[in-house]
């Protein structure tokens, strides 16, 4: 225990020097899970076999017996599931411009039954946002730059596991085979740490379907045939669809020739 305490004291002494280049301290436990905290104003304390790490925004607690390693990082990992979408929330700022060919980041506004997404390349700390990309794990570059607050974004988020105890909370979810959006969260369900959500106690809908105002994306309200979409389309899971006058595609996002279409 004394050796661990000594090592932690040495670690605390390096936090200020490391903050510019490596603004994250990552904790990894023996089961492989990780927790990350911004280095700025970070304090580490030990009591009764427990390590508590806190900064100006939040904190995390670990049993010393469960910790396998701690390391500085300038990136934070995020996993995009098979449907191609993930929400994210962090206490660090991200510059995602270098990942523009791999991931698209969005903020969101909500109205009616629609979540309208707007692309962003830089995301300030404590800002909920959405990521779209091919399924896999990505490393998001942390930025030490000062980034202006995002205007018009209605996403919130949580740095710790949050159990919903009231109505009006909506979290990113697969709504159907071809549609992703924000579905109402039942009271008692936990929204995981690091996830974004939307909250509006006056909303009277069960879900908000995703729509984007990004250039090059069309919102289609009529049948595919009337829009001259005769070529094969693909949904976000890579499945093929052939539009015809006799059948209408389900609501959702589709790709044809590198261009995205949204059927409502």
The model's pLDDT over 202-223, given as tens digits with 9 standing for 90+, comes to 998 999 988 654 434 444 444 3
- Interval 112-122: pLDDT, tens: 888 989 999 99
Q: Which residues contact 45 (CB under 8 A, 6 or more apart)?
A: 51, 52, 54
The answer to whether residue 182 scores a pLDDT higher than 80 is yes
List of long-range contacts for 133-136, beta carbons under 8 Å, 24+ apart: 133/80, 133/84, 133/102, 133/103, 133/104, 134/80, 134/84, 134/102, 135/80, 135/81, 135/82, 135/83, 135/84, 136/79, 136/80
The answer to whether residue 184 scores a pLDDT higher than 90 is yes
pLDDT at 221: 40
Q: Which of 82, 78, 83, 35 is nearest to 60 (CA)?
A: 35
Q: Where in the chain is the domain with CATH 2.30.30?
A: 2-73
pLDDT at 264: 58
pLDDT at 226: 38
- Interval 128-180: pLDDT, tens: 999 999 999 998 988 767 678 888 999 999 988 999 998 999 999 998 777 88
The answer to whether residue 259 scores a pLDDT higher than 70 is no
Starting at the edge strand found earlier in the chain, the sheet holding 75-80 runs 75-80, 136-143, 93-95, 122-123
- Interval 28-54: pLDDT, tens: 788 766 667 778 788 889 989 999 988
CATH numeric code, 2-73? 2.30.30
- Interval 220-258: pLDDT, tens: 444 344 344 556 676 666 677 776 544 566 766 666 655
pLDDT at 214: 46
Q: What is the mean pLDDT of residues 180-194?
A: 94
pLDDT at 176: 79
pLDDT at 158: 94
Q: Quick check: pTM over 0.75?
A: no
Q: How far apart are the C-alpha atoms of 60 and 90, rounded to whole Å? A: 14
pLDDT at 129: 97
More confident residue, 6 or 120: 120
pLDDT at 170: 97
More confident residue, 50 or 71: 50
- Place 86 in a pLDDT band, splitting at 50, 70 and 90: very high
């Amino acid at each position: 225990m004394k050796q661990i305490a000594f090592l932690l004291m040495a670690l605390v002494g390096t936090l200020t020097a490391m903050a510019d280049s490596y603004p994250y301290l990552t904790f990894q436990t023996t089961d492989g899970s990780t927790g990350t905290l911004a280095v700025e104003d970070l304090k580490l304390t030990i009591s009764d076999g427990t390590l508590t790490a806190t900064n100006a925004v939040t904190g995390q607690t670990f049993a010393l017996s469960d910790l396998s390693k701690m390391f500085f990082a300038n990136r934070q990992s995020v996993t995009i599931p098979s449907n191609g979408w993930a929400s994210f929330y962090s206490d660090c700022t991200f510059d995602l411009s270098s990942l523009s060919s791999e991931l698209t980041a969005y903020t969101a506004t909500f109205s009616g039954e629609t979540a309208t997404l707007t692309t962003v390349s830089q995301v300030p700390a404590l800002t909920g946002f959405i990521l779209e990309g091919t399924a896999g794990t990505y490393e998001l570059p942390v930025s030490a730059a000062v980034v202006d607050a995002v205007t018009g974004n209605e996403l919130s988020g949580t740095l710790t596991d949050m159990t919903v105890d009231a109505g009006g909370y909506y979290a990113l979810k697969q709504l159907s085979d071809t549609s992703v959006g924000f579905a109402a969260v039942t009271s008692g369900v936990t929204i995981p740490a690091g996830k974004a959500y939307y909250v509006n106690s006056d909303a009277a809908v069960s879900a908000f379907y995703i729509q984007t105002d990004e250039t090059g994306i069309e919102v289609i309200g009529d049948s595919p045939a009337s829009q001259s979409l005769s070529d094969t389309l693909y949904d976000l899971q890579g499945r093929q669809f052939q539009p015809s006058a006799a059948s209408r595609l389900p609501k959702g996002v589709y790709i044809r020739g590198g261009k995205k279409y949204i059927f409502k």
